[in-house]
A and B are shown apart, each in its own frame.
Chain A
């Protein structure tokens, strides 16, 4: 089979810096959505969807992003793709600033970073055979049509679908799992270096979800990919991620290596999230919910630490002052909580 064009290369010639240079560095990313009201359409409130998010993604790793609805995880994904324009923040892709003079253009970045969405049906053109959907990107970037279709059929093989059987089909003729395989193939068509997966397996049935997760892992190994994997499913994120970032109301509350973060969470919100998972053991049912209430409205987030309204360890300092995530090297386990800061004045703060 003619798979040479997708073969693994020991050294990726697209690498600008060395393997140590992060593929993506995001600093202080912000997006506030204005809510307009009244006859004059004045701005009456701001939704702080993403409020100062910073992280790095290293080459070849999978960074998981978890959080509840409205925490800003999908907005982060859309900001990274520039599907929406950030209000502030710096995005550096392999050493080059995105969309800035002397850096990499947004169009070029989008060729190297692709995205897969949750709703497999609405992200495909219903009037286009799926192999044409897959070839659409390469054609738009100048690949001759016949060559692009040939490549699309190779990609169908890669994602486990027989091109003779599925290539000419329309999206409505496929199951949810098959459609998501098509979306993954389309994301691969431009030979990207990074794929952002926004709840990409959440809509699938459990037995199909496992198939697609295995496929994603195999593709990552074969094609030298880096993933940002966004999900509300903590089990899935743990399995696929090297490092995990936890968001709450537009902010990063904790980041760290997956096993470390799951075994010894540092932020009370992460602990609550982990303890909220059903036990899978009828003899060890949860007797008490770890936290009460719903996540607050991101329009007027609580002062100080945004989790203080639901936190079991809340003290005066928590509403007065916002905790910082702090700095560390790229693999560090950090949490934005006053209990992690010996100088914060919180009575349960760690001591050095």
Chain B
């Protein structure tokens, strides 16, 4: 099977007059068709920027993208505007944290979906509306016919995110990019949307890259997890292995400091300090200043990727394992 997504050594720099923000620094990963990968990381770790780079949604004048991105065999960074437009919403689509700002507020949600279907499929607006109705049933929006005529502000948060998912799935994309789609939802609604996304992913066989800062969400939906820190993927692996036996000190610290039923009379385990300033990254491993295992050798350069077990890659000098050979 050939990979659907191949990202190699992706870097994104935001260039401003005062400084250079190195938001993504050499991210590489591949994804097979039908796989669900979670990008896990804290704010500023570069996970959303990576997503936007995959869709070429970053402002072209102020961002410098290097490396290579191939989706379904096509070189995304080499695409012209017309090819990009065909790809976006068609073979790759995206859902965001806040559907209110992603929808056009003055067009009914049904018409917005119909427009996308008509554009990409070359069908009539009426056929597009019919497709929208089917999609609303698919994402389980109650009284679907009536809700097609609703404006985004007339829907509740959960329904709006379902409508957003319907819009994203309207052209049966091969790859869905989901950027914190459940973060703004209430607890009882979040689990509904997670279960829905998981079911749709299985039924449609699409690949999903799911960005989240929440370990619990990753545990619910991911096949594989990529942990990002300061613009780099520090660890990847199958979700079970990674959550049960984290190898990178940052992953281990993140798991230990997440509050879930720890004894109340003890202090929580914490990672000291704060993530680094992306304008002035440490010379070597960017986690070294906060790492309990760090030594002088950690500042020499970014640790090379090593593979402690099949399917797992870690970038840490303290993990003893054979180095990963890139073809």
Contact residues of A with B, CB < 8 Å? Answer: 68-69, 175, 177-178, 205-211, 213-214, 217-218, 232-236, 238-240, 258, 272-273, 276-283, 285-295, 297, 310
Selected from B195, B216, B262, B264, the residue in CB contact (under 8 A) with A287 is B195
Q: Is the CB of A209 within 8 A of B259?
A: yes
**B66: Cβ under 8 A from any A Cβ:** no
Q: Is the CB of A295 within 8 A of B186?
A: yes
Q: Chain A: which residue is nearest B272 at the CB level? A: A211
Q: Is the CB of A205 within 8 A of B216?
A: no
* Complex-state Cα separation, A102 to B42, whole angstroms: 51
**B43: Cβ under 8 A from any A Cβ:** yes
Q: Is the CB of A236 within 8 A of B188?
A: no
Q: Is the CB of B257 within 8 A of A278?
A: no
**B190: Cβ under 8 A from any A Cβ:** yes
Q: Is the CB of B264 within 8 A of A205?
A: no
Give the residues in chain A near B243, CB-CB below 8 Å. 280-282
Q: Is the CB of B274 within 8 A of A213?
A: no
* Complex-state Cα separation, A211 to B258, whole angstroms: 11
Q: How far is the CB of B171 from chain A (nearest CB, A)?
A: 27
Selected from B42, B189, B215, the residue in CB contact (under 8 A) with A280 is B215
Q: How far is the CB of A227 from chain B (nearest CB, A)?
A: 13
Q: Considering residues B192, B195, B243, B272, which has the most beta carbons from chain A within 10 angstroms of its beta carbon?
A: B192
Asked if A280 meets B186 with Cβ closer than 8 Å, knowing A207-B42, A235-B261, A290-B191, the reply is: no
List the count of A-B residue pairs having beta carbons below 8 Å apart: 126
With A272-B188, A278-B217 already in contact, 4 other A-B pairs whose C-beta atoms are closer than 8 Å? A205-B43, A235-B258, A278-B216, A285-B198
Give the residues in chain A near B157, CB-CB below 8 Å. 69, 294
* Complex-state Cα separation, A276 to B189, whole angstroms: 8
Q: Chain A: which residue is nearest B275 at the CB level? A: A205
Q: Is the CB of B219 within 8 A of A280?
A: yes
Give the residues in chain B near A283, CB-CB below 8 Å. 240
Contact residues of B with A, CB < 8 Å? Answer: 42-43, 142, 156-159, 186-192, 194-195, 198, 213-217, 219-220, 222, 239-240, 243, 253-254, 257-262, 264, 267-272, 274-275
* Complex-state Cα separation, A178 to B274, whole angstroms: 9
Q: How far is the CB of B283 from chain A (nearest CB, A)?
A: 21
* Complex-state Cα separation, A236 to B257, whole angstroms: 11
Q: Chain B: which residue is nearest A203 at the CB level? A: B43
* Complex-state Cα separation, A209 to B189, whole angstroms: 24
Q: How far is the CB of A229 from chain B (nearest CB, A)?
A: 12
Q: Chain A: which residue is nearest B271 at the CB level? A: A207
Selected from B188, B194, B257, B269, the residue in CB contact (under 8 A) with A290 is B188
Give the residues in chain A near B142, CB-CB below 8 Å. 293
Q: Is the CB of A294 within 8 A of B158?
A: yes
Q: How far is the CB of B286 from chain A (nearest CB, A)?
A: 14
Q: How far is the CB of B181 from chain A (nearest CB, A)?
A: 14
Q: Is the CB of B214 within 8 A of A211?
A: no
Give the residues in chain A near B159, CB-CB below 8 Å. 294
Q: How far is the CB of B215 from chain A (nearest CB, A)?
A: 6
Q: Is the CB of A69 within 8 A of B186?
A: yes
Selected from B198, B257, B262, the residue in CB contact (under 8 A) with A209 is B257
Give the residues in chain B near A69, CB-CB below 8 Å. 157, 186
Asked if A273 meets B188 with Cβ closer than 8 Å, knowing A207-B254, A281-B219, A294-B158, the reply is: yes
Q: Is the CB of B213 within 8 A of A205?
A: yes
Selected from A175, A236, A273, A290, the residue in CB contact (under 8 A) with B259 is A236
Q: Considering residues A214, A240, A282, which has the most beta carbons from chain B within 10 angstroms of its beta carbon?
A: A282
Q: Is the CB of A239 within 8 A of B259?
A: yes
* Complex-state Cα separation, A286 to B219, whole angstroms: 10
Selected from B192, B195, B219, B270, the residue in CB contact (under 8 A) with A214 is B270
* Complex-state Cα separation, A272 to B186, whole angstroms: 12
Give the residues in chain A near B219, CB-CB below 8 Å. 278-282, 285
Q: Chain A: which residue is nearest B256 at the CB level? A: A210
